[in-house]
Amino acid sequence: MENCNNDFIIRDNLLCSGVRKMKDLYKKNPRLSQLLDQLCEQTLDQEGADEISSLVKNDSDARDYYVRYLEIHTSLYWDIALPVVNSSDASNEIQQPTGLDSRLQQLVDRLVCDATLDSTALLSNQIHDDASRGSDAVVRDGKTTFSRNWKYRLTGGVSLLALMLFGFWVVQNRPQLQQEQIAQQAATDGSLVEEKTVINTTPSDHETVKPQSKDDLPPRLPDIKWHGNPLVHSNSPLPNDNSSENDTPIVNDNPALTDDDKIVSAINDRIHQGWVDQSLSPSPIAEDHEWVRRVYLDLSGRIPTSREVKLFVNDKRSGRERRLVDQLIESPEFSMHWSTRWKNLLVGRSPNARVDRFALQKYLRDAIAKDRPWSVIVSELISAQGDPRKNGAANFLVAHLNNQAVPATAFVARTLLGTQIHCAQCHKHPFYETTQLQFWELNSFFKQAKVIRNEGDNKTKASYYLTDKPIGGPTFYETRSGLMRVAYPSFNGHKVSDDKLVSRRKELADLLFEKGNPFVAKAFVNRTWSHFFGHAFTQPVDDLGPHNPPTHPELFETLSQSFVACDYDIKRLVRWICLSKPYRLSSRSIPGNQQDAPDHGEPPAFSRMYFKPLTAEQLYDSLVAVSGSSPQTDQNWEKHIRLRESWSLQFVNALNNDENGESEHFQGTITQALVMMNGDLMNQTISLDSKRLASVRTDASVSDLDKFEAVCLSILSRKPRLEEIALFRKLTRQLRDANSPTERKQMLAGSLEDVMWAYLNSSEFIVNH
């Protein structure tokens, strides 16, 4: 392995030093270069494959160039370095690899690694030819070892000879990508072509993705089957790896539901079936104190007050959970919390001079409060125009319309459609059938969008305006081989006119919700489920696709279809999840479900509630709630938002990359610990000036133990345990030494302040469980 790694280092150094020679070879072999580009881009037909085979067999210089070219390009497509065979030698059937084929592949892999072959396998084929060319071959211990300069030629020659003898397939499929080499290889590939060629096409004949059939493509090696493209929806079921073409297709038995009780029952049944399949036992139902704290944090973004906890616990009527969920969903705090969550997803937390974050949150808050469908919100986010200070929806694209709208394309796909296609801007997606062309077809919808900057004067700041330019035509992009190509607006197989009078963003907004398109619904359902359980149906939450199947596909499909059937109703989706049995379970694991550990890489079975660290906004609002303030009312919510954002900024760093990314260092960091131990907000919360607990801590008519219980209920939403009561009594023994009632009151207040500080810095407080 060490020798192999050393050879890879030597190879990389040689590749860098040989770039100039590659340019000369590219010009010297224009036809072969064109065919190899088609091979890497998977547009090569059988006629081209035959032509490559003829060129590299009959011309040693062409063979040398062929091996060097594929040595460079196969970091992304490493197994296409197997030479192309003649169509007459190729099998017409796609066969499974035999033991002989496996040995052949191992032979090629070994050649690429160290280029050391047994001399008896080479003497009859290569020694004389290499000697005539001045090869510096050395025979040591019965093996012939060639210098690195001849290893490329040797690898290609032996690979060609082996494939000609065994007569197997053209490698035309996309192999598994080695992701750690993407950035380095993309930079190397861009330097291979000195002169760029523009291929002129029209909307009727520009490059399209050809269907891969046995009639128009060479035979293929067996490949990992991702079955499709996440940006192209098909109603046909996914084939099973063991199924044949004659098998009966799978019928979708997950129809959309519109009755709330039936949907909740579907959640319970599907999750329960997963427990049975995995031989898991669910945790018991959560205690009232645990569940009421959980639902307040998830729906209102803060912990409940002691009064709110008592109201729920003391309510013995049936249906109290449904009443509380309905009450919280219809409260202003729900709109505030969910608008905050989506504002951070859409534009991040970092300051941006072009973005009015408050205007965006106001737009989202009003839309959620007025029960506007998610489909309408998404359409307005994509098609919005005007001043972002007046039209809050415009802030989403204003934040990402830079770098030829590449960040906007990636953000729309990832945040609103749930697919990560950003790497397809440079090359074919490594995990599913998303091509570079399809990325730029989606990007072409934002070709007209433009942010206009209006300079301010000494008294006013610069302002921005989002509009569409009256331009048409294609979007130009560059392939990995340096060719310039064109893309026209197209989504999910539907092409849009490239006329300058057509608003492409409005057309995209309509296409997203065309009948049968599941993209937006599935992305929102997956994110919403993740918000409540800490884990989504897929990991990561924004990488849906055939390569990343959900843990509970039937339930995921039912929820997504029901969400669409119920007109993308956000509050109904939230209600379904909060009233389900899995959401009601305790966070305490039992012996029967300890293997349900998604934090350790296992797929979540939702047999218990998983721990969810509080966000910076949840922590801020909870500290404010403990102190006794009620900031999220209609009168002062704007002031509260600005103060909270200012406090949260200490945990955020902008990455300043081409994807407008940022990093958050809030959960479990030194910064968080320092803020919680001695920050200004913490000191205000535990001081005697705090409104909610000050009177309790100083009221002489209330016993010491009742005061301690009030503190525990206000911070942890539960009564103190027996061991905590014992510790508190031990802490307050010193009160017996007080010389006066006033001194005793001050000593007790100090002890209660210490208790509050300890509870607020406990893991129980900063985790939603």
Q: What is the 3-state secondary structure (H, E, C) of 160-224?
A: HHHHHHHCCCCCCCCCCCCHHHHHHHHHHHHCCCCCCCECCCCCCCCCCCCCCCCCCCCCCCCCC
- Is the dihedral angle over the CA atoms 338, 339, 340, 344 positive or is it negative? positive
Q: What are the φ/ψ torsions at residue 508 (nearest 5 degrees)?
A: -65, -40
**CA–CA gap between residue 121 and residue 143 (Å, rounded):** 10
Amino acid type, 276: V
Note the pLDDT of residue 71: 57
Cβ atoms within 10 Å, residue 147: 12
Neighbour-count burial of 625, counting CB atoms closer than 10 A to its CB (0-12 exposed, 13-18 middle, 19+ buried)? buried
Q: Do 401 and 535 form a contact (C-beta atoms < 8 A)?
A: no
Spacing of C-alpha 53 from chain mean position: 41
Task: Read off the tokens for 102.
Answer: 């496996």
Collect all residues with Cβ–Cβ distance below 8 Å to 305 and sequence separation of at least 6.
625, 692, 714
Regions in the chain scoring below 50 on pLDDT: 1-19, 74-104, 107-108, 110-214, 216-227, 235-252, 631
Q: Are 506 and 383 in contact (CB under 8 A)?
A: yes
DSSP string, 480-518: TTS-EEEE--EETTEE----TTS-HHHHHHHHHTSTT--
What is the DSSP track for 273-290? HHHHHTT--PPPBPPHHH
Distance CA 511, CA 524 (A): 17
Number of neighbours of residue 110 by Cβ within 10 angstroms = 14
pLDDT in tens, 578-605: 999 999 999 999 999 999 999 998 999 9
Phi, psi of 585 (to 5 degrees): -75, 155
Find, among 287, 399, 272, the residue nearest to 345 by Cα: 399
From the list 560, 524, 561, the residue with the least C-alpha distance to 415 is 524
> Which pLDDT tens digit goes with each residue over 86-123?
333 333 333 444 443 444 455 445 444 433 333 333 33
Half-sphere exposure in the Cβ direction for 250 (13 Å, CA): 12
Q: List, in sequence order, every residue forming a beta bridge with 494; answer none if it has no partner.
A: 491
d(CA 410, CA 231): 13
Q: How far apart are CA 634 and CA 621, in angstroms?
A: 16
Structure tokens that stand for 573 in this block: 């989706």
- The pLDDT tens digits of the residues spanning 254-285 come to 578 999 999 999 999 999 999 999 999 999 99
CB-CB neighbours of 528 under 10 Å: 22
Angle between helices 504-512 and 374-383 (to 10 degrees): 160
Check: CB of residue 210 under 8 Å from CB of residue 258: no
Q: Specify the residue for token string 């906890």.
A: 309
Task: Classify residue 712 by burial, with Cβ atoms within 10 Å: 0-12, 13-18, 19+.
Answer: buried
The span from the CA of 133 to the CA of 127, in Å, is: 10
pLDDT at 741: 86
The alpha helices in 374-503, defined as continuous H runs, are: 374-383, 395-400, 406-411, 436-443
Given a contact cutoff of 8 angstroms between Cβ atoms, the answer to whether 659 and 422 are in contact is yes
- Binning the chain into helix, strand and coil, the percentages to the nearest 5 are 55, 5, 40
